[in-house]
Amino acid sequence: MPDSPARVPAMVCHYAAYLRARAHVTPEVSVHGNRAEVCLGVGEKVLVAVFGCRKKNWSLRKVEVRRGEQATTFTRGELAKAVAALLGHEPQAPAPLAVNGAPGPRTDATLRERRTTVLRI
């Protein structure tokens, strides 16, 4: 009986689906024992997400973006940065908070004015 293909863990499938949605390219998934890799190539760059299994729990170990001989390694929490590096653009910075009123601390006159305002109906 020929060897059956290794079952792809659910976590690896979820990450592969995320990468496919971001890059619009289907990644390659390979599983070898307690190690799995998701490879996604865009142009000259390749993103490789490495997963490991310990005590039946799969987790993302590291992410690399390779371009020829150069490789940049990202941690688990930097997946968005790795995808941005792969696609050739920076991740979006959070929007600046809106500032209400005049900049700087409130003055005593402003605080006094708000305290003494009375609404009559």
pLDDT tens across the length of the chain (121 residues): 445 566 889 999 999 999 999 999 999 999 999 999 999 998 889 999 999 999 989 999 999 999 888 888 998 888 888 998 888 875 444 445 555 555 555 555 555 555 555 556 6
In the prediction, which pLDDT does 90 show?
A: 55
Cα(49)–Cα(91) distance, rounded to whole angstroms? Answer: 18
Cα 115 to Cα 107, 111, 112, distances in angstroms: 13, 6, 5
In the prediction, which pLDDT does 68 show?
A: 86
With a threshold of 0.75, does the pTM exceed it? no
Query: Sign of dihedral through CA atoms 83, 45, 75, 8?
Result: positive
In the prediction, which pLDDT does 117 show?
A: 54
